[in-house]
Each structure stands twice: as structure tokens, then as C-alpha cells.
Amino acid sequence: MAQSPFQLFQQARLIDPTTGLDEVGDLLVEDGAIAARAPHLDPPPGAEVRDCRGLVIGPGLVDLYSQSGEPGFESRETLASLAAAATAGGFSRLALLPTTQPAIDNAAQLTQQRSFQLQPRQSGQSGQAQLYFWGALTQGAEGQHMGALWELAEAGAVGFCDGRPIENLALVRRLLEYGGQRSLPIALWARDRRLAGQGVAREGPLALQLGLPGDPELSETAALASLIECVRATGTPTHAMRLSTARGVELLGQAKAAGIPITASVSWMHLLFSNRDLDHYDPHLRLDPPIGTPRDQAALIEATRTGLIDAIAIDHSPHSYEEKTVAFGVAPPGAIGLEFAFPLLWQRFVAPGLWPALTLWERLSRFPAHYLHQSAPSLAIAQSEWLLFDPQATWPASPAHLKSLSANSPFVGSKIRGSILQLHVSDRRF
């Protein structure tokens, strides 16, 4: 007997930030696409019926930027392992930074990366995360000379971003003027490496107490103020990535209030940690920009709740065991997060009632899709990009359990509460 194409999910909590939906109801799916939604539905003949009381159904998640190891560092992460990790974490779309080796700064390199998406699915597979690729703003993503923006746009880049600071303001201005003509997203990291120096922790009394070189907030805020002025002068909509300081939040708020077309994102790790968590010198908390003070953390959380900060980025950055098993001060910055971020953010902010569930989904799905000039995943009829989440299920964050090839995370070795039970990914490109 042929398997029924229908699945009926009964009495799930249905969440959709595109319409403001947050209510308990039934969802009928036919061949992965949403066929009906109502407080109560009768199952079609032969339909698979699932009791979803206590479970959550929402649109697939979208990540603005993360890092692949392929090409150049395949032992850290391949495109296949990255897609598998994203799928396991509920991400149906993932935009990857161009800082591979070689960098994605030309059409040939971009075409090679995009060919991964054309590989056939395995039999019975409900889809894997769709990968998109940022094209480098500068040659080699080195911040010195303008890249082949027109060529990258024609080859299908999702937008332009180096993933590294560009400190030459004259070049930043030219990039905004020229890149803005293609009407593709442009993302820049406001950071002054000269002011940061060799700092690995946010400058202040705690860094001194821990004996760690300090990185002043000025390394972000001076660069952010300059970036805002460049955006004001050119009028090119720009995204400020990796915001990490309370003062940076203030500058962002002032810019938005003045009508300057700038948006911003914060790394999920900067919402969960402050520099008070560095007392064990865990190299997995060595991030760039460094984790902020409790005041920074509180400002970032509040700005994310209100929407002043538009999106939460995972900024998944894989490193090998050998690379990270060193002293804090010499560890390479970055941590993985695709498989942990959503359940941990849910437990930290949604479960205790600090944020509405819609807010978390807005920051991790609707706005990232909007900024990438894509239609947002939703629970609308005929849509087929949704996930099923159990907020109470626990699973072991062991290297053997992870889909990522790397395990550089402070959460590895712990139990994670909250599990993605199912993710369906649309076949269509956005």
C-alpha cells in the first residue's frame, strides 16, 4: 500500500512571525507543503496523525552569516557537514562568508561553491539546508582593493561581505557607492584592529584581574561611528555585523532615529555570555569581538528584544580540537553553534517569558530572510519550509552526536534541552 502523502500535526503551538501567529492548532501537510491550518482538522483517509501537544511548529530558521571550512580547511567543516549541522539545528537557509581558502572573490570560485546545492538528495530525505554565499567585497577578502562585485552579482552572490574589518574608509565609501548600484545586501564588520591590538577580552577591571590583554570598546565604536557616517553620506543600506557593546547599541539607535539606512546583528554567544564567564579560561569562549561586560550583554539583549538589533547571527566558526586545546590568549577565535543556538536561546529567553516566541523567530528567520532579499519562511498555505520543535526533549552535545566535524563549543559535553524533531526544506531557491 502506498504511503499517504498527508501528515496531520494535532494541537501543536503554531508560530509564524510573518503574520503574528502564536496559537495552538492543527496543521495538515501534503507532501511537505502546508495544506491547511485550523484550530481543529479532520485527518484525510490514511493520513499519518501525530499528537503534538507540548510541541512547537514554526518556519525554518535563516542564518545571516557563518563560516565553512571548504575549501581550504575541510578537516574543520565541509559544505556537506555544514548543511547537515544547519538542518539538525532547524536552519533551512544558511548564508556563508567568503573567507575560505581561496576566498570567494570571483565568479569561478562562487560557481564552484554553489554547485554543492545541485547535488541530488538521498532517497527519502526531506531536504537539507539551502546554502547561499556572500561574495567578497575586496580581493581575497583582505580589505585592500575592491573586488569583482559586478561579476559576483552576476554569478549569484547573495550579497557582499568580507567577514573581516575593512579599515580604509575611502575604500568603504567606494564599496558602498559602487556595491549599492547592484541593490544586493552589503554587510560590514565595524572594528578597528589597531585599537583592538592584541586584546582577547573586553578591556576593564576583569581583564586585568584575569591577566588577559584588553580590547577596548572603542575598537568597535570608533569604527561603527565612521561606518554610520559613510552610510549617511552614500545612502546605501548597510548591515553592521557582530555588534558587541552597549555604546555600539547607542550609536545604532541614534543612526536609526536619524533615518540612516543601517541594520545590525549580534552573535548568539554574546547574548548568552559576559566576561564574567571567562574565569575558567575556556578557549571556546575566545571570540572576536570578545564577549562583553554584563552591561554590554544586557544592552544587546534588550536591543534584540525590542528590534533595535534586527537579527541574531550564528556566526558558526569551526576549529579543530588541536587548534582550540591551547591557552585562552592564543586560541583562534570562534565557536560552532548551528546545532545549539535555537534550543539554548529558547531556554534562556522564551521559556522564562523574557521574550515572546515570535521575537526569537523574528530575529532568527523573518528578518534575516528579509535582509537577504528573500521571501521569509512562513506557515502560509502551500509553503514547505517548517520545523517541529520539542522544547522539553534533551540530547547529549557529544562530538559523536554532532553533525559538525568540529566540536569547539562551551556546550559540548553537556545536555541540551530542546530538540528539532523534524525540518522540511523547500526545493525552491529564493
Instruction: Give residue 183's pLDDT.
Output: 87
Residues 6+ apart with CB under 8 A from 270: 244, 287, 289, 291, 292, 296, 297, 300
CB atoms within 10 A of CB 41: 18
**pLDDT for 430:** 52
pLDDT by residue (tens digit) across 284-309? 999 999 999 999 999 999 999 999 99
What domains sit in the chain, N to C, each tagged with a CATH number? 63-377 (3.20.20.140)
Q: 315, 267 in Cβ contact below 8 A?
A: yes
Task: List 8's β-bridge partners, or say none.
Answer: 28, 49
Between 428 and 333, the more confident residue is: 333
Which pLDDT belongs to residue 212?
97
Give residue-wise pLDDT tens across range 226-283. Answer: 999 999 999 999 999 999 999 999 999 999 999 999 999 999 999 999 999 999 999 9
CB contact at 8 A, 129 and 86: yes
Cα distance between residue 165 and residue 161, in whole Å: 10
With 90 as the cut, is the pLDDT of residue 117 above it? Answer: no
| Residue 406, C-beta contacts closer than 8 angstroms, at least 6 positions apart | 69, 76, 77, 318, 319, 320, 321, 336
CB 41 within 8 A of CB 28: yes
Q: Which of 384, 386, 411, 377 is nearest to 397 (CA)?
A: 411
Asked whether 165 and 124 are in contact (CB, 8 A), the reply is no
Ramachandran angles phi, psi of 285, nearest 5°: -95, 10
- Read off the pLDDT band of 68 (50, 70, 90): very high
The rounded distance, in Å, linking the Cα atoms of 222 and 367 is: 26
Sign of CA dihedral 421, 267, 363, 177: negative
Cα–Cα dist 408/335, whole Å: 5
Residue 222: count other Cβ atoms within 10 Å of its Cβ: 18
Q: What is the per-residue pLDDT for 122?
A: 46
- Note whether 76 and 320 are within 8 A (CB): yes
Q: What percent of the chain has pLDDT over 90?
A: 93
SS3 58: strand
pLDDT in tens, 152-209: 999 999 999 999 999 999 999 999 999 888 889 999 999 999 999 999 999 999 999 9
DSSP H or E run through 66: strand 61-66
Tell me how crowded residue 325 is: count the other CB atoms within 10 A of its CB: 11
Q: Which residues are catalytic?
A: 315
- pLDDT at position 110 over 60: yes
Question: pLDDT at position 118, please?
Answer: 57
How are strands ordered across the β-sheet holding 262-267?
A: 61-66, 91-96, 130-135, 159-161, 186-189, 238-241, 262-267, 311-313
For residue 141, give the 3-state DSSP assignment. Answer: helix
Residues 6+ apart with CB under 8 A from 273: 285, 291, 297, 410
Secondary structure in 3-state letters for 128-162: CCEEEEEECCEHHHCCCCECCHHHHHHCCCCEEEC
Question: CA-based angle 62:67:73, to the nearest 5?
Answer: 145
pLDDT tens-digit series, residues 332-378:
999 999 999 999 999 999 999 999 999 999 999 999 999 999 999 99
pLDDT at position 64 is 98
pLDDT on residue 105: 97
C-alpha cell at 231: 552610510
Band (pLDDT 50/70/90 cuts) for residue 114 is very high
pLDDT, residue 70, reads 95
CA distance 197 to 397: 34
Residue 147 has pLDDT above 80, yes or no: yes
Q: Distance between CA atoms of 69 and 82, rounded to whole angstroms?
A: 9
Amino acid at 74: E
